[in-house]
Structure 1
Amino acid sequence: MDTSAYLTAVVEQTRTLAEWVDNQDESAPVPTCPKWTLADLVDHVGATQRMVTMLVGGRMTDPSDAFAGYVPAPADSAEWRTWLNDGAAEAKQAFDSVTDDTPVWDPSGADAGVPFWSRRLFGEISVHRADAAAALGKDYELEPEHAAGAIEDWLDTMTSRGYWENKPDFAKAMRGDGQTLHFHTTDAAGEWLARREPDRVALEHSHTKADVAVRGPATDLLLVLSRRRPLAEAPQLEVLGERALFAHWIDHMDWTTDT
């Protein structure tokens, strides 16, 4: 997927989320994010999109101004639908105004801010829409190709140099001496090999023998990797090899649920 396709999908998925949360109970718990209410979830999604809009639209190489411009969600859930849709539309306009090589702050350390943030917004809404589905009893559906794209975002962000350097507890837990995990989507193109090294987790797109391999439908794999669905509730996923290694990996994939 390219930047334009990511943002089109962001607008579409945000529209679905906005319909789901319209006029809902602001205090409803979000079981996949135990510290959050539905109001927290809406606030996070919409405010994040607006901050990224400021970063990209303002061509910011220093993120402090965008973070200072945090815009909270309306307190009244009757206003959420419009607020969410407006934010997604503004984000798409911001990305339409730049090119992939426009200088924008990239927290991953790769110096490619526009592609990073387009994919990050897509990954955010894909996972957080699953949170809303869990909170409201909705069926969560995602095209396999989109689920594979969200897995790519999740894995690439979690294994980036910037994430490693800014999350010391994560880095400590993920240090290794070459242990490998292979992830493979069976209904869309997607293969990833993660190697736990002393100074990073190296991510490759390859098919090779690993200490543990996890394969199955892309949406199931996304929800398990992002800790939105327990492995025991994803019977279509096949785990081959050292299950304890995969369990350790999942135990530390807590970036979104703790925010």
Structure 2
Amino acid sequence: MTTSHSPVPVLPFADWLELIDDRSAALRVAAEAADPRARVPGCPDWTARDLVAHLGEVQRFWAATVAAGPAARPPAEASVPQSEPAGDLLAWSAESTSLLLETLGTAGPDTECWTWWAESGNPATSGAVARHQMQEAAVHARDAQETAGTTEPLPSDLALDALDEFLHVGFGSMDGWPHAPARVALASDEGHAWTLILDSTGASAVRGGPGGGPEADAVLSGSASDLLLALFRRVPWDGPGLRLIGDPDLVRQLVVWPPLG
């Protein structure tokens, strides 16, 4: 596979904050339209109410983490204010989002803080937290929409950035690949590509297709939204929105490899 894909656009810090706000609001709109007891297809152990509570708890945790500054450990549970829902769930959720955004805005993009991915070599900063929380809100907003029967694709700019983050941080934090060494290329319809190199050390993401290097063992193509949702097991990797050239067993192994919350 040769490619002339352009560099992957990484969104600025201000856009991450705006999209956290937008996608968190979209989750609440969809959750309000759904039966609160309905099961979430992407997270079948959760109800719609559980989904709203989860995102709020996560946002409050990361607000406390960023506020604590440089640290060797995550904040103690007692230091996370109102970590469990109280009163009106949607109002509590909106307050959770506001708390996270206020904390990130005050910190700016470069404040160091604890992150679970620090050992992977990726930045452990408030900016990295903002980027990861944009992805979290976006995927769970889509979960809420699916629960309500109102799914829509993720915005392209968000999906491209979130896919880049997931490949570098999510996959980059994994232990050794448990199968034969391989390369998987992901090519977005928006014109950007990545190559994921899988071996006994784990996974390394390279922006761009294989180009003049070794050929990929599998190439999965589609919109950035569908590629991201497939890696999150929200849409089937062999569904109508995606196209595969190469080894289907390899892609199947890749999709089930990382643990997902």
* Contact kept? 1:211, 1:242, Cα under 8 Å: yes
- Structure 2 residue 56 is the aligned partner of structure 1 residue 54: no
The residue that corresponds to 2:108 in the other structure is 99
Q: Among all aligned residue pairs of Structure 1 and Structure 2, give the percentage whose two residues are the same amino acid.
A: 22
- Superposed CA offset, 1:115-138 (max 9, x none): 221111011011111211121111
Rounded to whole Å, the distance in 1 between the matches of 2:224 and 2:74 is 36
- Higher helix share goes to which structure? 1
The worse-fitting range, judged by mean Cα deviation, of 102-111 and 112-121 is: 102-111
Q: CA deviation at 1:232?
A: 3.8
From 241, 245, 249, give the equivalent of 2:246.
241
Normalising by structure 1, report the TM-score: 0.85
Aligned counterparts of 2:112 and 2:237: Cα–Cα separation in 1 = 40
Q: Secondary structure at the match of 2:250?
A: helix
Contact 1:227 1:254 (C-alpha < 8 Å) held by counterparts: no
Between 1 and 2, higher relative CO (CA 8 Å, sep ≥ 6) is seen in: 2
Question: Which residue does 1:167 correspond to in 2?
Answer: none
Q: Distance in 2 between matches of 1:106 and 1:137?
A: 34
**Matching residue's letter, 1:207:** G
1:135 matched to 2:178:
no
Tell me how far 1:186 sits from its aligned partner.
1.0
1:205 matched to 2:214: no
Of 18, 22, 30, which residue of structure 2 is paired with 1:8? 18
**Which secondary structure does the structure 1 equivalent of 2:40 belong to?**
coil
SS at match of 2:196: strand
- Tell me the secondary structure at the aligned position of residue 34 of structure 1: strand
* Alignment RMSD (CA, Å): 2.0
Does the 8 Å CA contact 1:182/1:212 hold for their aligned counterparts? Answer: yes
The unaligned stretches of length 5 or more in structure 1 are 165-170
Counterpart CA distance in 2 for 1:185 and 1:242 is: 18
Q: Following TM superposition, by how much is the alpha carbon of 1:100 offset from its aligned partner in structure 2, in angstroms?
A: 2.8
Q: Counterparts of 2:142 and 2:221 in 1: how far apart (Å)?
A: 20
Whole-angstrom CA distance in 2 between matches of 1:145 and 1:71? 31
C-alpha distance after superposition, 1:60-86 (max 9, x if no partner):
514442544271124x6xx23222222
Q: Is the 8 A contact 1:56 1:95 kept in 2?
A: yes
The one-letter amino acid of 1:179's match is: A
- What is the CA distance between 1:176 and its match in structure 2? 4.5
- Specify the SS of the correspondent of 2:154: coil
Q: Which residue of 194, 197, 201 maps to 2:196? A: 194
2:20 maps to 1:19? no
> Which residue pairs with 2:5 in the alignment?
none
CA distance in 1, matches of 2:233, 2:45: 14
Deviation string, structure 1 residues 207-244 (Cα, Å, up to 9, x no partner): 113110011111111111110011343x1311011111
Distance 2:19 2:70 in 1: 24
The one-letter code sitting in structure 1 at the alignment partner of 2:129 is W
Equivalent residues of 2:112, 2:124 under 8 A apart: yes
